[in-house]
Amino acid sequence: MAAASDLPHAVCVELARAAVANGAQAYAEPAAVERALQFRRTLLSPVINATGVLLHTNLGRAPLAFAHPPQAINVEFDLSSGERGSRQQAVGGLLATLCAAEAAMVVNNGAAAVLLVLAALADGRQVLVSRGESVEIGGGFRVPDVMEQSGAQLVDVGTTNRTRLGDYSKALARKAADVALILKVHPSNYRIEGFVEDTPVAQLATLDVPVVADIGSGLIDANCPWLSGPPPAWLAGEPAARQSLAAGAALVTFSGDKLLGGPQAGIIAGRADLVSACMRHPLARALRPGGHVLFALQQLALSYLDRTAATVVPFWQMASSSIDDLAVRAHRLVSAAGIGEVVASEAIPGAGSAPGTVIPSVAVSVAGDRLAGLRAAVPPIIARTRDGATLLDLRSVHPSDDGHLAAALAAL
């Protein structure tokens, strides 16, 4: 079993014991080898994302090429003074520059960023949230639940589909109001259309209370200066950090592994006094990221600042590939595999970014449901089905993996 699966002996012993407990013959071939191989498939391993969902939450969201040398790094060591330093200083400074903010800090994910801001700035006080933004996103993350855990008191304003500036003003004017913040939440993975109205950050900023904009997806700048052309059409209306702060938000919070294209992280940027209060809160230590995340974010931030993100950040490589390039790859793949046809497709950003938008794409279509066979390939290939056919969308596939796709399709 160990030789066939390349698993450690101790793991194979536990698999054998479990098999005996279930009444099986522990080392009967080929059942024992199959058990070992099935266990190996439960371990984390690289896969090829051919779903067309560029930021696939179940597949780790933004793909990231990251190598760390087997050396110590100055995570909390000041090289100038030789004394203990801050793990937030270097990366926080770069992210602040990116966002045109006074200061920035990093925690371990986007939900943690919202939780820390509320706990540090609104514990025991009221926070105004539009009813249309009191949302639940993937994984059961609910704004009311996070508010409760932070110690802040949620005050719903407006209605599900329409919330005006006057609704916030009315809540602020109540005699018993002790409002610490206004929280504006990106609706992430859903959209209300039709008879709707919301209050933009610029209007909320006219009120006498700090505005925190949870923009979610991590778009740094709506102008996308790291791209050679204009901003993609599918980004229209997506909130961005620089523009939200310029409009008057006191803080923005967002994820590092969505449109930013980095590791899982949560970023808080904005007024220096508010960021400092978050850094001093006891939760900041519990929610802080490790050195690997900080190092990866530092490299990512530098790529945005030197305008090379479009060529070195995998997400932007995928998102900015031309239809012509994708079509050439698809035809080559079909020719090499001897199976399938090239079809038009629609990719999506994914992970709650730019909800309801699509990105034109190209896919290879194979008749029937071939998902299980593709998952059995090495490395596994994750695709999708549509109208009785299996689609492999090339926008979410790195060109270096085209050979693996061709071999897997040929094996079908």
- Residue 372 forms part of a structural domain: yes
Domain end residue (candidates: 278, 312, 346): 312
Residue owning tokens 């040398």:
69
Q: What is the pLDDT of residues 320-333, one digit of tens each?
A: 999 999 999 999 99
- Residue 288 forms part of a structural domain: yes
- Residue 107 forms part of a structural domain: yes
Number of domains comprising the chain = 3
Indicate whether 95 and 206 sit together in one domain.
Answer: yes
Task: Pick the more confident residue, 213 or 191.
Answer: 213
- Residue 346 forms part of a structural domain: yes
pLDDT > 80? residue 25: no
**CB contact at 8 A, 217 and 255:** yes
pLDDT > 90? residue 391: yes
Mean pLDDT of 238-259: 97
Query: What is the distance between the alpha carbons of residues 271 and 180, in angstroms, rounded to a whole number?
Result: 15
Indicate whether 262 and 381 sit together in one domain.
Answer: no
Mean pLDDT of 42-61: 95
**CB contact at 8 A, 357 and 234:** yes
- Residue 79 forms part of a structural domain: no
For 233-265, the three-class secondary structure string (H helix, E strand, C coil) is: HHHCCCCCHHHHHHCCCCEEEEECCCCCCCCCC
- Residue 336 forms part of a structural domain: yes
Indicate whether 302 and 357 sit together in one domain.
Answer: no
Predicted pLDDT of residue 190? 67
Mean pLDDT of 360-388: 96
Domain end residue (candidates: 312, 339, 365): 312
Indicate whether 188 and 241 sit together in one domain.
Answer: yes
Indicate whether 94 and 206 sit together in one domain.
Answer: yes
- Residue 248, Cβ neighbours under 10 Å: how many? 17
Query: What is the distance between the alpha carbons of residues 382 and 50, in angstroms, rounded to a whole number?
Result: 6
pLDDT band at 139 (very low <50, low <70, confident <90, very high): low
Residue 368 sits in a domain whose CATH number is 3.90.1150.180
Domain end residue (candidates: 312, 347, 380): 312
Residue owning tokens 């793990």:
87
- Give the structural domain span for 112: 89-312
pLDDT band at 4 (very low <50, low <70, confident <90, very high): low
pLDDT band at 375 (very low <50, low <70, confident <90, very high): very high
Mean pLDDT of 276-303: 96
Predicted pLDDT of residue 344? 97
Which amino acid appears at position 220 of this protein?
Answer: I
Mean pLDDT of 61-77: 88
Q: What is the pLDDT of residues 196-243, one digit of tens each?
A: 788 999 999 999 999 999 998 999 999 999 999 899 999 998 999 999
pLDDT > 80? residue 108: yes
Mean pLDDT of 387-408: 97
Strand pairing class (136-137; 141-142)? antiparallel
Largest Cα separation within the chain, whole Å, is: 76
pTM of the model: 0.92
Indicate whether 278 and 331 sit together in one domain.
Answer: no
Indicate whether 12 and 55 sit together in one domain.
Answer: no
Q: What is the pLDDT of residues 159-168, one digit of tens each?
A: 888 999 999 9
